[in-house]
Amino acid sequence: MDFLGLRTLTVIQDTVDLVKQNRGIDVEFDREMNDPKVYKLWQNGDSMGIFQFESQGMTNFMKELKPDCLEDIIAGVSLYRPGPMDQIPRYIANKQDPEHAVYTHPALKPILEVTYGCMVYQEQVMQIVRDLAGYSLGRADLVRRAMGKKKLDVMAKEREYFIHGQLDDEGNVIIPGCVRNGIDEKSANTIFDEMAEFAKYAFNKSHAAAYAVVSYRTAYLKAYYKEEFMAATLNSFLGNLDKVPLYIEECRKMGIEILKPDINKSFTKFTVDDGKIRFGLGSIKNVGNSVVDSIVNNREQNGPFKDFADFCERMQDGSVNKKCIESLIKAGVFDEFEQTRSTLMASYEDIVDSISDSNKKGLKGQVTMFDLAFGNSENQDEESDNQLENLKYNYTVLKEFSDKELLAMEKEMLGLYISGHPLEEYRLAIEKESTIDTLKMKNIQEDESSETVELDDKPKYRDGQMVRIVGIIESVKKKYTKTNKIMAFTTIEDLYGQCEIIVFENCYQMCSNILLEGSIVLIEGRLSIREDEAVKIVANKIIEFKGEMHQEHKSNSITIDITNLSDEQKDKLRGAIRFFAGDRNNCRIDIKNGERLDSAGGVLMNEAIYKEFQEIVGESNIRNNV
């Protein structure tokens, strides 16, 4: 038995709990697992957060497959691996047209029909040797194991038994073999070869089915309870700044607003607040869980905090120190009160000290000898309360920080931008100028680590490929080589996350004046893809990015390279050109096929249409002409 401690199981349970808490609904998963709304997520490529299906390669596979039943999900888990991947084009084609599925021998149809004529599971290998050659269950498993471990001597004997059978010393039939069962020798040999090749990488269906059920449940929750599901997913990655920005971006794509932490509404973790997801106080730097527990307990016992001074008064027991208060201010948890963050930053120390001094002077709960002698103790607490209420806190009122400064504070305290992003206003220009982003780089890394490749065995990105990326410089670490040459390791952040840029001396000398924290830059360089390492870029050129298009993007013509496109891609391209047909003066389309270059007329071009063409042919096969 294989017991897996999956993070996803916690996400599912946390989502169910949040749905019960927020909506009063007990989630019941459909037993048949055939809900079209759920499968629509896979069909549309909306698989972020769905167990086992987040990588770009797997997402593309599912978009092409158009799954509509659990069997397709089970097969997807099993096929997207080295070895079985060779069956993917055949599986997709046969699913779309089952009547054209080809079987080496009719006897295979009852076994392989569920997977459209493709060998997908270990159990199918075992069933083939049992049904076609008459093996026992135990002997069938031994064959499957020998194939998986490439035991050539064992496989040579089993090939003979599979085709011609096996007799004991007295001539009794132990294994009938394919020929005795009416299957010709040529077909039997071909079938054995197919099994031997496939079994080296085969997945067992029971394992894949268990994974598929977990995958379906995550998809079900995303389809019907998206806010709770995304909140639970974000909570599962608290502290992992590589993942949280990706899921926050996914929330925005799904139309879920992400709210800043709030002193009166936030708890420790992400929560759902009126259809929106609110950051937890526990995500803030310098604010530990014990501090959050203290704040929440005080809030539950005494009601919401009325203002900043009320918070400081009620939390004066020492559980929240000045460093913690500063972090809370920077994170924006007091933004709903009347003071600006700049005012609170300039005033909080004086206010805390004022409250502390008042306590030391005995303004509250202090019973003196004079009070005891003259019987005034009954009125002491009331008078002290009045004195505290009349304390005047001297706020140093300042104009609010700039948007850039407010975002920088949120980034410092939460590890990412919440209210907005410094690059958001340049999003369109960045999408046109860049050929890669950190999300795509993350997908490259995941596909590399899982030993998977793109469906056509031609990875979209490869080691040494030239790329362009736009981002904000987060850090610069200079270093001198053994030959006393200067270089730098630079971290940049784009709309989706961070990556490392390696800057050698030649490039460094040309860009050192803009290689500063906070600079927005365009980097041209080559990809560095290494096993077990994050994907990096070795810079050739770094220039300041001002959100303006380069000349090549102002052209009225584009060239599309169809040299390596599939027939299906070419058909889609022809359809798109006809659908978006326009005057040549709008945008001229040139088609490159090998060395040949032809014109395909004009189309009405805008950002959305350009993206359509990119999706059809791939970003590397389309370019704007100067």
Domains with residue ranges and CATH for the chain: 7-207 (no CATH), 257-403 (1.10.150), 424-549 (2.40.50.140), 552-624 (no CATH)
Residue 544 or residue 606, greater confidence: 544
Residue 90: what residue type? R
Question: What's the CA gap between 432 and 624, in Å, rounded?
Answer: 10
Under 8 Å between Cβ of 291 and 320: yes
Residue 323: what residue type? K
Taking only the tens place, the pLDDT of each residue in 598-619 is 788 777 677 767 878 888 998 8
Residue 5 or residue 27, greater confidence: 27
Band (pLDDT 50/70/90 cuts) for residue 300 is very high
The pLDDT of residue 299 = 96
Tell me the whole-structure pTM to 2 decimals: 0.75
Summary count for the chain: helices (H), strands (E) = 25, 15
Side-by-side strand order, sheet with 276-278: 258-259, 276-278, 271-273
H-assigned helices in 113-184? 122-133, 137-148, 152-164
Residue 53, classed as helix, strand or coil, is coil
Paired sense of beta strands 166-167 and 258-259, if any = unpaired
Phi, psi of 316 (to 5 degrees): -80, 5
Residue 143 or residue 325, greater confidence: 325
Residue 618: what residue type? G
- Structure tokens, 72: 């397709």
Rounded to an integer, the average pLDDT of 534-538 is 94
The pLDDT of residue 371 = 44
Band (pLDDT 50/70/90 cuts) for residue 369 is very low
Q: At what angle do helices 205-224 and 36-43 cross, to 10 degrees?
A: 100
Taking only the tens place, the pLDDT of each residue in 256-265 is 999 999 999 9
Rounded to an integer, the average pLDDT of 351-376 is 61
Residue 16: what residue type? V
Under 8 Å between Cβ of 299 and 264: yes
The pLDDT of residue 598 = 79
Average pLDDT, the chain: 86
Rounded to an integer, the average pLDDT of 352-364 is 74
Q: What percent of the chain has pLDDT over 90?
A: 57
388 has pLDDT over 80: no
Residue 228's nearest CA partner among 194, 276, 266 is 276
CB atoms within 10 A of CB 626: 10
Residue 490's nearest CA partner among 507, 506, 476, 470 is 476
Under 8 Å between Cβ of 535 and 460: no
Rounded to an integer, the average pLDDT of 565-592 is 78
Query: How many Å is the Cα radius of gyration of the chain?
Result: 32
591 has pLDDT over 50: yes
The pLDDT of residue 625 = 72
The pLDDT of residue 362 = 58
Taking only the tens place, the pLDDT of each residue in 420-453 is 888 988 888 898 889 999 988 887 866 654 444 3
Rounded to an integer, the average pLDDT of 179-183 is 95
Distances 468 to 420, 501, 525, 541 between C-alpha atoms, Å: 23, 12, 7, 10
